[in-house]
Amino acid sequence: MASPKILIIGGGPAGLSAAQDITDAGGEAILVEQEGFLGGTPKRLHYSLLAPDLKPVEEVLDPLIDSVQQSGARCMTGAKVESVNSGRNGFTVTISGGGKKVEEKVDAVVVATGFAHWDPHKKYEYAYGVYPDVIDFKDFEKMLSDGNIVRPSNGQVPRRVAWLLCVGSRDRQVGKFYCCRLGCAVSIKQAMEVRRINPAIDTYVYYMDIRTYGFWEDKLYWKSMEEFGVKYIRGRIGSINRGEDGRLIAMAEDTILQRPSEVPLDMVVLATGMEASEGTRETAAMLGLELEEHGFVKPLESDSMPVSTAVPGVFVCGTATGPKAIPDSITEGSAAAIKALNYVRKRSIKVQARA
């Protein structure tokens, strides 16, 4: 029996993990990544530290990338899957990249096409793109990675930074009914980083609920308030205006004080949610995968078969099926790898029995 050949679409944490496990198990992995590098969104947007252990992205993902590259997996960066045709003996795929097209025959496909940050321009009342001091997650992660926390409007160190949770999540007005799962943790992590870098900057988190589930509760939420003095204000900011001195005025209701609150802030970070990436939607259409009601890929059974799909031979992992943290994506990548390998093995046994 020839070694199973499996196509992985997407080179983020989930895809890398799948590629590593497939090659480790003696399979042949073809990893297709549209960007010119591996590592996915965390690398592309220059994330800083990762929750909850506050390790730098490089420390978490670089060993994974290195081991995939050394494992013998075929990594095609700057490439795109043009078409997939399923036949009697697996799939025939066309991959374009570097100005040429190649055709490959593979036994199974693992979809690891990931997510995109929700575009905060759509929430006009927060004036993202109007006031330079209103920024979002990815802008602030970049700022932290560069180690330079300054107000984009005037280049000065802010005195007071606030985070606004649930921007583009849990919001009927923008059609996002789900929780992004990470907004709380990432906001709190960013606030802690700010306080560690410069304790003179005061940090406030405007929340409806704090959803730091599991061990993130004490590792992030409790730690942030107890050790770093991050303050929490219960109330969702309704709109952001500009004050006389160029500072931002967050119009909110302080629901504990039960009164309107118009407090001046120097910077507001919008905790933008997650949605299915364009790549996820395109790939799902190409492979004939069903999307669930929130726009992500629908697993065969979300409870018992989270990495299988209704299309035989196609598996899905990571944030393509919904908001997820990096460790969960890595775990799912491994799960999709073993499911794909088992699919190929079972099918070849069947073919042999028939012969």
Q: Name the residues that contact other proteins, by CB under 8 A.
A: 160, 202, 204, 222, 225-226, 229, 231-234, 254, 256-264
Q: Which is nearer to other proteins, 110 or 230 (CB)?
A: 230
Q: Least distance from C-beta 212 to other proteins, angstroms?
A: 11
Percentages (nearest 5) of helix, strand, coil residues in the chain: 35, 30, 35
Q: Least distance from C-beta 224 to other proteins, angstroms?
A: 10
Q: Which is nearer to other proteins, 233 or 340 (CB)?
A: 233
Q: Which is nearer to other proteins, 257 or 349 (CB)?
A: 257
Q: Least distance from C-beta 208 to other proteins, angstroms?
A: 13
Please name the helix (run of DSSP H) or strand (run of DSSP E) that holds residue 43, with its range, or none: helix 40-44
List phi, psi (to 5°) of 303.
-90, -50
For residue 301, what are the β-bridge partners? 305
For residue 56, what are the β-bridge partners? 49
Q: Least distance from C-beta 298 to other proteins, angstroms?
A: 37
**Gap between the Cα atoms of 295 and 310, Å rounded:** 16
List phi, psi (to 5°) of 350.
-65, -45
Q: Which is nearer to other proteins, 67 or 261 (CB)?
A: 261
Beta-carbon contacts of 353 under 8 Å, excluding residues fewer than 6 positions away, are none
Q: Which is nearer to other proteins, 264 or 327 (CB)?
A: 264
Q: Least distance from C-beta 199 to other proteins, angstroms?
A: 10
For 93, other C-beta atoms within 10 Å of its C-beta total 22
Q: CB burial class (10 A; 0-12, 13-18, 19+) of residue 100?
A: exposed
